[in-house]
């Protein structure tokens, strides 16, 4: 079983992966940076960006952040369920020594009551499944402990606190699962649970598992 600490380490590696691969950058970033960091300079930059993003207090189970490097620009990608996460991510990365600019391509997911209800249902279905309980340290109940914040603005505005290995992205009824699990079987279970929620239009399972065969891309 993957421990919380191990999952955090692997999750951090996942965040860094786009930076070390063939990053997809925009023309703006290419024009602004004709040079790039050396391999020796790049490693501490990548580690710092990864650390700053993972430590954001508003980064929760309904968000997913990644980044890539182009020249001396850090390009932020992913999804934020609340606008504050997008601005916070840009702010902390801009404060990293050596980073000349930040290109913020994080998509802020539009709020809707339907998506909020789907987030609640997905959280309960996925983390309430016995085989998947190990991927969080948070108590999961059907009522999710109603709070003043949740009664006023839904779970999107007051997400549960804790560690979650499986991130649940909901965009206009479409669900995407991101993160790392112990096995392809666990990823399949999460996919089945996500598809069982009423009102969901589609589920994209991007969960990674050790030794899992590459997933076929749907054309």
Q: What is the helix, strand, coil percentage profile of the chain, to 5?
A: 40, 20, 40
3-state secondary structure (DSSP) of residue 152: helix
pLDDT value at residue 147: 55
Residue (of 110, 19, 91) closest to 53 by Cα position? 91
pLDDT in tens, 22-53: 333 344 444 444 477 788 888 999 999 999 99
Q: Domain extents for the chain?
A: 4-108, 113-205
- Look at the block and give the residue holding tokens 């699962």: 177
The tens digit of pLDDT for each residue in 133-162 reads 999 998 876 655 555 455 556 788 888 888
Among 15-19, 102-106, 115-119, 129-133, the minimum mean pLDDT is found in 15-19
Q: What is the pTM of this model?
A: 0.78
């Amino acid at each position: 079983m993957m421990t919380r600490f191990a999952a955090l380490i692997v999750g951090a590696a996942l965040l860094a992966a786009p930076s070390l691969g063939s990053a997809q950058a925009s023309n703006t970033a290419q024009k602004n940076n004709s040079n790039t960091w050396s391999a020796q300079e790049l490693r501490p930059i990548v580690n710092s960006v990864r650390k700053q993003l993972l430590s954001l207090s508003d980064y929760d189970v309904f968000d997913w952040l990644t980044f890539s490097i182009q020249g001396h620009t850090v390009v932020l990608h992913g999804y934020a369920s609340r606008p504050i996460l997008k601005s916070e991510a840009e702010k902390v990365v801009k404060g990293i020594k050596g980073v000349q600019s930040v290109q913020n391509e994080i998509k802020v997911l539009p709020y809707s009551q339907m998506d909020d209800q789907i987030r609640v249902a997905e959280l309960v279905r996925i983390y309430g499944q016995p085989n998947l309980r190990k991927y969080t340290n948070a108590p999961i109940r059907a009522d999710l402990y109603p709070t003043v914040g949740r009664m006023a603005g839904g779970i999107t505005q007051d997400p549960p606190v804790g560690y979650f290995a499986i991130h649940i992205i909901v965009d206009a009824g479409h669900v995407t699962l991101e993160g790392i699990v112990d096995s392809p079987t666990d990823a399949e279970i999460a996919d089945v649970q996500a598809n069982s929620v009423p009102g969901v239009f589609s589920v994209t399972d991007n969960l990674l598992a050790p030794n899992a065969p590459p997933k076929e891309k749907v054309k």
